[in-house]
Structures are given as C-alpha cells and as structure tokens.
Structure 1
Amino acid sequence: MVGAGLGWRQPMNVDEERFLGVALEMLQNGSWFIPHRAGEIYADKPPLFMWAVALFVQLTHWPTVALYLPALLAGAVTTACLYDLGRRLWGRRVGVIAALLFLATYQSYSILRTGQIDGFLALWTVLGIYGLCRHLLLGPAWHWYYLACAAMGFGIISKGVGFLPALMLIPYAYAVRKGWKGVVPMPGKAAAWWLGLLVALAAIAVWLGPLLVIVWHGSADSLAYIQEILFKQTAGRYASAWEHREPFWYFFAQVIPKYWLPIFLWLPWLVPAWRKQLLKHDGRVLVLLGWVVLVLLFFSLSSGKRKLYIFPAVPALVLLVAPLIPWLLRRWFSRRPRGRTVFAVLTVLWLGAWCARGFIEPHKEGINPHETIMGEVARLTGNADLVLVSWREGHWLFARQPIVHFGFHGNQSLEQSALWLRSHPQAHALVPARNLARCYDPQKARRVGETSRAEWFLVGADADNQQCQPSAPDKVYTFAWRHPLP
C-alpha cells in the first residue's frame, strides 16, 4: 500500500525537491556533513535523511525512486514492530490488528508515501518505542533500552524531535512509583540508565563529531552553519516559529479529526474504555497513553505547527486501540451478524482504495511544472548561464544548465540579476511575473511557464530597463549538475 506506484512518482512539492536535490548535491560535491543547496549551505535540517536518500541513489541509480525508499523502509519496520509488540503485550490477534490498523490510519498513508524527513523519522521513533516497551513493560531488557537510545540519537540527527520516545519515561516513572501493574521496576540501576544517554550521544556524534572538527578547521560559513542548525533551527524555531504559525488547538480541531481516521471515529467508545483500564492501574495503558498525550502537548505548545508533526504519536496510539478492537466488534455486532461482514468489506475497500490511489495519483499530478519550465528554458538558451530570481527548489533540481543566484533568501535578487546581466550579456535570468517590470521591459520577456506560486519569464540583457542600480552582491553562488535529472 505504501509502495503502490513507486517508480511512477516524482518529486512534486518543495520538501521533496529540496531533499532530493541536497542528497544529489552531496553525491556530487562530497560535502556530507555540511549540506548544500545550489552551492549555498543548507542549514534547516540535519543530514541523516539526505544520507539515506543518497545511499539509495547509489544502490538504485534511480533518484526519483530512491527518494521514497527511506519512508517505505520505515513503514515496513514500523508495521513489524507494532505486530511484535501487540503480540507480546496482548496476544497474536492484537498484533495483527495493530499492524493492519497502522496501515489503515490515514496519516500513515499520507506521510509514508512522501519523500520527506517525517517518514524516515518514523523509523527511529518506532525503534525507540519498541526498545523502551521491551524494557519498561516486558523487561528488564537493557540491550533493547540501549537500542532505543541509539535510535533516538539517530532520530535527532534526522530531525531535532527524534528524542520524543524518551518522554515515555515520565508516565513509566509515575506507574512504578504508584505500584501499577504491567510495568517493570528496576531500582538501583542509575548507572545503567545514564549509560543510555551516552549511547544516544554516541549516535549523534556520528554526524556532530566530524562536523565540529570541520568547523574547528573551517571557515566562517561552517561556524554560521553550526550556529543555525543547533540553535535557530531547533530551540529557536520551537520557541518562536517564523512560519506555519497556528493556535494551540490546531492539532485537535484540524488535524486529528481527518488524519487519525478511522481511529477518531471510535473515540466515543475508546475514551471510556481507556478510563476503565486506568482505574484498574494498567501500566501498559498509562505508559502508552501518557506518551501520546505528552507528544500532543509538546507540539501544541510550539507556535509553529504542521499536520505531519504529530505522526510520531500514531504507533503508540495504534497499540492502545488494537486490544480494544475485538471488544468493539462484539459490542457493535453481537446482535447483528451481518455487521461483521459489512465491517470486513469496508476494511478491505478502505485499504484497497489507498493502494489504488497510489497508482492514480502520479497520473493525476502529471509532470512537475518546474521540470517543464527548466526544459523550456534550456531549449531557448542552450547552455548559457541562468540567473535565478526568487527561485524555488524545483528550478535548481531540474536545471539543465549552469545557474547563478545570490542566496535562496536573497532580498535583492531581482536588482542583482540586472547587474549580473550587464556584465554577462550572454546570460539570461528567470524572473517571476510579479517583479518583472521593476527591472525589465515586459515586452522583451518570454513566458516559459507557470507553477502554483508564480508565472515565470525569461529575460536577457536587452530587456534591462536601467531602473535598478544595486550595489554589488555580498555573495554570488554558481552551480551546475554534472548529470541533470532526465
């Protein structure tokens, strides 16, 4: 279901274009510890996901397939872990239900089919959950605890929130203190617990150790990178987000009702059942439910929110719901035998619809408009340098010729493009329509295509209206793919 249509899909949003481009640029320039985007340092995310994509590119020689393989791997591992945990905690039947319910949850489908970090992060999250559950609920099993700590370390260098499984220790500590059943007390093991932190730090050091050496011997740019990635893009972004700002209740009102289907529809029966289990001091339910609540609270407290942020909570939620499914079926259908048949048919149709959608979507989406635009630009200009203005990642990923830019977030890129064309009259510039007339004569511009954000025009030095007289740019970045995407 997750892999349906693999090979037909191509990068269609800015995240997928960005991460595939960064991975391909790593392979081209060999800068593995400091990622780049069109020659400029890319400091928004740690590099582990891009490493994984680059590895699959090397193995498959098919970039548009390699982009989706990390999430496909994560989906397979998550499904297997949920089956095994359900089997060990409640029985084989519950394990099967947990695996199927995870695949049937809409957010699983929507995240794991994309070429984004959150799908790959699910791999480390579920390994953290699995290892901690084997230790806290089925242990003691210190080797599983250390595996969970290592997974959290690798999760952190995939995305800063990779530490989230550690929050499971909070409800576990409460359950042990209050003597709840279903949890394993481990008194007098402080050194063994703290060793887990060292294991997590060792995993983080796989990237951070070489990075610090590079920064120590490197340039001011590498120092700026480490300051950006370790502070602004983690704690700073959480405390005061500058994009995707949403109210506290965003996940509860706009995400969960849709993306946690079908589980959301069952909450009127699930919530009272969980309450009864908690009144019976079931530590398994407390640890898992407590962790889901803490994850929701953690992301709700940040001003920046996206629907995919709460996906890490889904595996634990599935483990909470799966043991109650047989009870729900008996409650709903004990006097309506045909109801079970209807439920089974609806389940097959639900899963089948997602599988079919995987083949339909690529045909419905068509060709990435950036690929079309860059192909047309290459046809019109040959191999001439192309200056990018207010560009998106798709322009860089699908570029067929050398490109020039003044920083992805450059505020004066339009004015500086005019200055560049004056000294490089053989070059051209790709400019969005909304800014065109400020520096160029629209009558001398050629329309080359449209994306969801803008209409794009190609201009040469002859289109310069001489109205823009900027100072020389602080930095000029040049980049060219050795092997452009076909």
Structure 2
Amino acid sequence: MSHPLPIRLPGLLLLALLVLGAGLGLRDPSPPDEPRFVLAARHMVESGQWVIPHRGSELYAHKPATFMWLQAAAYLLVHDWRVAFLLPSLLAALGTLWLTHDLTRRLYGRRAAIWAALGLLVVLQFGLQAKRAQIDMVLVFLTTLSMWGLLRHLLRGPDWPALWLGGFAAGLGTVTKGVGFLPLLALIPAIWTMRDGWHGGAGSRPSGARWWGLPLAFVLGTAVWLAPMLTVVLTSDDPALHAYAREILLRQTGERYANAWHHIQPPWYYLQVIFTLWLPGALLLPWLLPAWWRRLRRRDARLLVLLGWAVLVLAFFSASPGKREVYIFPALPLLCVAAAPLLPGLMRRRGVRLTLAGYALLLSLTALALGASGLLADPRWAQRLAEERALDAEALRMLLLWLLALGVGGLVLLGWSRLRRTGTALVLFTALLWVVYGLGLAPALDASSSARALMQRVGERIGPEAELGLLAWREQHLLQADRPARDFGFERPWEDQWHDAARWLGEQPQRRWLFVLDEALGDCVDRQRAEFIGRSNRRDWWLVPGDAVVPDCRPGFAPRPQGDASRD
C-alpha cells in the first residue's frame, strides 16, 4: 500500500486549501478569543497605532501584537474583515503541512512524507485550529518552522543558516505567544544523541562561534515586536503604558505559568486532550508506542529527538496548574513526522483499519442521529439548544440538515471503502467534516455566536440617532455594534463602570442607552423601565434607557475572578 490517496504535495496542499478554506467569508468572529483579536486589529487599521493593541478604551496586555498585525495586514490586502480575520490561520495551516511534509522527506524519505502530511490533516485539532482565528495555528507554524530549521542542522547538518532560521522562528514565536521558545528544548535530546551508538543524526555539539548565531537569531526574532513596544513605552511618561509593559512581560508570562489564575486543570488533563482532540491519530497509539520503543532501543537519533521534544512539551505544560487544550498543539506536527514511516505498515493491519473505520462510523452515526432526531423524531433537545444558543427556526433547521448530510456522507464513504480503502475514506470523511463545518454548521450558528443578531436588535430598538454605551460587555458586542459605542472599561470592576456610566447617561438621558449584562444590572436600575433585549453566548442582556437609572446610586458587586476571561 502506498498511501491513502494517490496524491503528491501540490495536490495535497490544494485539497487542504479547499477543505480548510471552505466557508471563508461566511461567518463573523465568535468566542472564544476571535472577537478580541479582530477588535484590536480593527483599532490598528482605523487609528494607525499598531504597536500597542487596544480592547475598546483599554490597552490589551494579555497577548503581544504580532497575531493582530497579521489580521490587520490581511484586512489591508482584502478589505473584508470576514475574510481577513481567518486568513492568518489558514495560511499558517498550509505552511505547517508543507513543513511537516518537507521535514519528514528529509528524515525518512518521500514515501513517508505524504503520510505525515495526511496524518496531520485528518487530526481533529489541526482542522479546528485552521478554521479558527486564534493565535495557536500561527504559533504552531512558527514552532514547526523552528523545529524544521533546528533539525535540519541537528539531524541532517551541518546547516548553519537553517539553525539560525530555527532560532529566529523561535524568537518570533515567543512574541506571538509566550511559549514560542519551546523548540529550543529539542537541543536536550539532540545533545543526548551525540553520544556513541546513536544513528541517524549528523549534527555537531553546540560549541564554536557559529553556535552563538542561535541565541542571536532568537533575540532578533523577539525584537520584531519587543523593540517597537519598548521604544514606545520607554519614551513615554504615560503610567498606563508602563503598567501595560509590566503586565505583558511579567504577569502574563512567568506568573501566568507558575501561578495560573484560571483554566486550572489536574496534571492528567492532557491525556484527555490527546484522546479526544487528537483523534483519530490517538487511536493508533497501541500500535505506535511499541513500534517507537523498538526503534528507540535500536538507538534511532531521529526518533529520540522527535519524541523527546514532544515529551518535554507535555511535561512543561503539565507542570503548570493552568492548562488549555491548545497548549500542547505544537507537539502534534512533530509526532506526525515520528509516526509517518510506520503508518504504511500499520494500515495493512486489519485491526488498525477496523479501529479507524469505527471512529468514522461513530461520528457518522452521531451526526445522523442528531440530525434525524431533531428534524423527524424528538425535537426537544434541538429546541433546548435553540433556546440556549438563541437560534431562530431557520438556523436550527439548517444546522440539523447539515448534520444529517454529514452522517449520510460518512456512511456512504464507509460503504464504498469496504475496509480495504479505510485510509482514503478517512481522508475524504475528514474533508467532508470540515466542508460541512465551514459551509453549514458555523454559518448556521453565526448570528447567535457572533452576537450579530443581538446587536442588530439593539440598533433597531434604540434608533439611528441614539448613543450606545456598553457595561460588562464582551468583545463581540463592541465589534458588532452598528455605531461607535462608548465603553467604560473592560477589566474594571462593574461598580466603577457603573459610576462612569450613570454620569454619562445622566448627561443626555433622552438619547443615551446602556447595554448591560443581566448579572451587572445591580440594584441601581428601575427594571420596569429597562428592556430585556435578548440572549447571546448563553447570557442574558438588557437595554437601560437614561431615565431608568436611580440617581446617586452606587451598586455593589461580589469581586469577579481576576484575569482575562477567554471563553464565553
């Protein structure tokens, strides 16, 4: 058996472009994370201030500006935010596929290379991140680029320009998201392989003048963002800018890792991630692990570096109390490289083919059951979903029809494969999954998830001449507002926001309205005059006219958890 599809790299990249790009331009930014990045990128374009990101009236100090630069640059290229906000992730995904293929080709040959790229393409987390406007797909491109450069030197070198490129990419990754330095950990297993008896490596020990190019390249990579940011901060007397620098350089890096204040998970959390988001690849671990162990016992330097680095990444993130499923994502492409030479043999095993077919069958039957039951049998669960997500009848119907199509399509592919062409069926089923997601599922949920429908109702209710203020808001509300909206801070305590909002409303109570989260209404609003405007992102929202606020009232609220809430 050669590989699941009779395809070469250009065809694979074209397939990935069609599959991962399906639905581009059909939805707006939705939580988590997407609206805040687009909000900051839009501010850059509109204000011309690109160095320090903003979230409304506040400085945004939780992530460097690099990813937002990419989104803003994409907008200047295509002049459509619905397309521009997803372009960096899409291009990064294609680049990661190419790097995975090329690194595998250099380490294991052309036959294994296409297996590595296809293996990466079918993993759920890869497709999901490629179709989301989060930082992590761009980060994974940079960490994979860094490993590509480092391993070209360490395992197939000497190749000093590749080593320096790896250092630069690690530095750039660090100022894209703080953990971009992780590829440098590959030096630990690489140095170990330089002992006698390991084969497959061709590097040199890190000594000599040219090795100093690696840390220098890393520093140059970080300077892409650090240099302009520090220049702006150090040449200003604005205390807000100095607080911004302290927050992003200290609290959002070392303190966030060592003493995380949210996303607290147990040490074994990433096993759960591997056996869910890394499907179907995780299903092959019972066969891969013994095969990897046999090759390590034969002292294969390539495998030790690849797997050793992945283990170090897993250990690094497991040691922190704060964990998210995307944190270990950078290890995935390199694990696909490590698995690639074994996949042709594994796919000849009936047990492997049955396992992978069972995975596709389970997803197909689940989608079929959800779609059919919501449309034909018992629609109560679908109605509950519609109420929770504020979906109208047409959006719910389209969601269920697309689920039905996914289920039927998956069963047709499995029937066609007859277990002999399981690899091909799995690739085609994954393609079908992401096409259905991009063209059907995400657009059906979009009006609710992005808060577009809610903010349209807000604009229609208050009229074109009214002014709008936001209190206890989320980024999608400011992004979707149909007029310039006044905010009173994002991370400020609600009580302080109310103090400024009440004064603002009192100045022109007949034409000013306040958009408020239900929990933040407090006891300073006459609820007989306030209006419930709708539900979005599983929360209730109200409109408060200027004359509905109790004069000289200062509401009290329980302290909210500190930190940036990244999920709605």
Match of 2:202 in 1: 184
Does 2:531 match 1:446? yes
Alignment-derived partner of residue 460 in structure 2: 379
Distance 1:169 1:334 in 2: 34
Deviation for aligned residue 1:333:
7.8
The amino acid that maps onto 2:477 is H
Q: Which runs of 5+ in 1 are unaligned?
A: 472-486
What secondary structure, in the 3-state scheme, does the structure 2 residue paired with 1:146 have?
helix
User: Please, which moves more after superposition, 442-451 or 461-470?
Assistant: 461-470
1:105 pairs with 2:185: no
SS at match of 1:311: coil
Correspondence for 1:422: 506
What does residue 258 of structure 1 align with? 276
Measure, in 1, the Cα distance between the counterparts of 2:352 and 2:473. Answer: 60
Amino acid at match of 1:405: D
Residue in structure 2 matched with residue 199 of structure 1 by the alignment: 217
Instruction: State the shift of 1:342 in Å.
Output: 3.9
Alpha-carbon distance between aligned partners in 2 of 1:406 and 1:343, rounded to the nearest angstrom: 54
Q: Could you say if the C-alpha distance between residues 341 and 335 of structure 1 is closer, same or farther in structure 2, counting changes exceeding 3 Å?
A: closer
Equivalent residue number for residue 389 of structure 1: 471
Check whether the contact 1:14–1:392 (CA below 8 A) recurs between aligned residues: no
Partner of 2:430: 350
Q: Alignment partner for residue 227 of structure 1, among 232, 246, 262? A: 246
- What is the RMSD of the two structures over their aligned residues, measured on CA atoms? 2.1
* 1:247 CA displacement: 0.7
Across the two proteins, how many residue pairs are aligned to each other? 470
Identical pairs, percent = 43
Local SS of the residue matching 1:387: strand
* Counterpart contact for 1:248–1:303, Cα < 8 Å: yes
Q: Which residue of 1 aligns with 2:385?
A: none
Q: 2:169 matched to which residue of 1?
A: 151
- Using the alignment, how far apart are the partners of 2:253 and 2:174 within structure 1? 10
Q: Aligned partners of 2:297, 2:268: CA distance in 1, in Å?
A: 28
Give unpaired runs (5+ residues) of structure 2. 1-18, 355-416, 557-568
Report the CA distance shift for 1:87/1:417 in structure 2 as closer, same or farther (over 3 A): same
CA distance in 1, matches of 2:132, 2:197: 43
CA shift, 1:134, in A, is: 0.9
- After superposition, residues 165-184 of structure 1 pair within 5 angstroms as 165-184=183-202
- Rounded Cα–Cα distance in structure 2 between residues aligned with 1:350 and 1:280: 35
Matched, 1:242 2:273: no
Q: Return the alpha-carbon distance in structure 2 between the equivalents of residues 191 and 41 of structure 1.
A: 42
Of the three residues 97, 100, 124, the one matched with 1:79 is: 97
- In 1, Cα distance between equivalents of 2:352 and 2:91: 39
Question: What letter corresponds to residue 490 of structure 2 in structure 1?
Answer: F
What pairs with 1:355-366 in structure 2 (closer than 5 Å)?
Answer: 355-366=435-446
Shift of 1:455: 1.4
**Structure 1 residue 344: deviation in Å?**
3.2
- Any conservation in 2 of the 1:53–1:69 contact (CA below 8 Å)? yes
Distance 1:41 1:335 in 2: 52
Taking the aligned partners of 1:186 and 1:122, their CA distance within structure 2 comes to 26
Pick one of 119, 122, 133 that aligns with 2:140. 122
Instruction: Determine the C-alpha separation between the residues in 2 that align with 1:366 and 1:335.
Output: 36
Q: Tell whether the 8 Å contact from 1:415 to 1:439 is kept in structure 2 after alignment.
A: no
Quote the offset at 1:86 in angstroms.
Answer: 1.5
Residues 82, 319 of structure 1: 8 Å contact kept = yes
Conserved? CA contact 2:498–2:554, under 8 Å? no
1:355-401 alpha-carbon deviations (Å, 9 max, x no partner): 33322223321314522222222223324332211110011111222
Separation in structure 2 between the aligned mates of residue 395 and residue 292 of structure 1, nearest angstrom = 39
User: For the residues of structure 2 that align with 1:276 and 1:399, how far apart are their CA atoms?
Assistant: 59
Aligned counterpart in structure 1 of residue 42 of structure 2, from 21, 24, 28: 24
State the SS of the aligned residue for 1:330.
coil
Give CA-to-partner distance per residue, 1:176-233, whole Å, 9 cap, x none: 1344111124147332222211111112112211222211221111111110110001
Distance 2:223 2:26 in 1: 37
Q: How many Å separate the matches in 1 of 2:422 and 2:486?
A: 60
**Which whole-Å CA distance do the structure 1 matches of 2:521 and 2:203 have between them?**
68
Shift in CA distance, 357/371, structure 1 to aligned 2, threshold 3 Å:
closer
Partner letter of residue 59 of structure 1?
Answer: L
**C-alpha distance in structure 1 between counterparts of 2:255 and 2:69, whole Å:** 25
* Residues 453 and 93 of structure 1, relative CA distance in 2, 3 Å threshold: same
CA distance in 1, matches of 2:228, 2:193: 40
Partner of 1:46: 64
**Could you report, residue by residue, the CA deviation over 1:137-157 in whole angstroms, capped at 9, with x for unpaired residues?**
111101111111111111111
Measured after TM superposition, the shift of residue 423 of structure 1 is 3.0
Give the aligned partner of residue 9 of structure 1.
27
- 8 A contact 2:92–2:141 mirrored in 1: yes
Give the aligned partner of residue 401 of structure 2: none
Query: Residue 363 and residue 161 in structure 1: after superposition, are their counterparts in 2 closer, same or farther (change >3 A)?
Result: same
CA distance in structure 2 between the partners assigned to 1:342 and 1:73 by the alignment: 29
Q: Establish whether residue 406 from structure 1 lines up as the match of residue 424 from structure 2.
A: no
Question: Structure 2 counterpart of 1:247, which letter?
Answer: P
Change (3 A) 1:405 1:342: closer
Distance 1:342 1:45, change over 3 A: closer
Change (3 A) 1:220 1:87: same
Deviates more, 1:435-444 or 1:65-74: 435-444
Give the residue type in structure 1 aligned to 2:286: P
**Matches of 1:278 and 1:47, distance apart in 2:** 41
- Give, in whole Å, the separation in 2 of the partners of 1:330 and 1:379: 61
User: By how many angstroms is 1:235 displaced?
Assistant: 0.7
Aligned to 1:433: 518
Secondary structure of 1:136's aligned partner: helix
Deviation string for 1:6-48 (max 9, x for gaps)?
A: 1112212141111011000011112211111112100000011
CA distance in 2, matches of 1:217, 1:85: 44
Equivalent residue, structure 2, for 1:299: 317
CA–CA distance in structure 1, aligned partners of residues 519 and 115 of structure 2:
53
Measured after TM superposition, the shift of residue 334 of structure 1 is: 12
CA distance in 2, matches of 1:192, 1:383: 66
Residues 243-252 or 347-356, more deviating = 347-356
Query: CA separation of 1:188/1:328 partners in 2, compared to 1, >3 Å: closer, same or farther?
Result: closer
Equivalent position of 2:363 in the other structure = none
Q: Is the 2:27–2:446 Cα contact (8 Å) retained in structure 1?
A: no
Which deviates more from structure 2 when the two are superposed, residues 435-444 or residues 124-133?
A: 435-444
> What does 1:266-345 align with in structure 2 at a 5 Å threshold?
266-332=284-350, 339-345=419-425
Contact (CA 8 Å) 1:372, 1:449: kept in 2 or not?
A: no
Alignment match, 1:481: none
Which TM-score applies when normalising by structure 1?
0.92
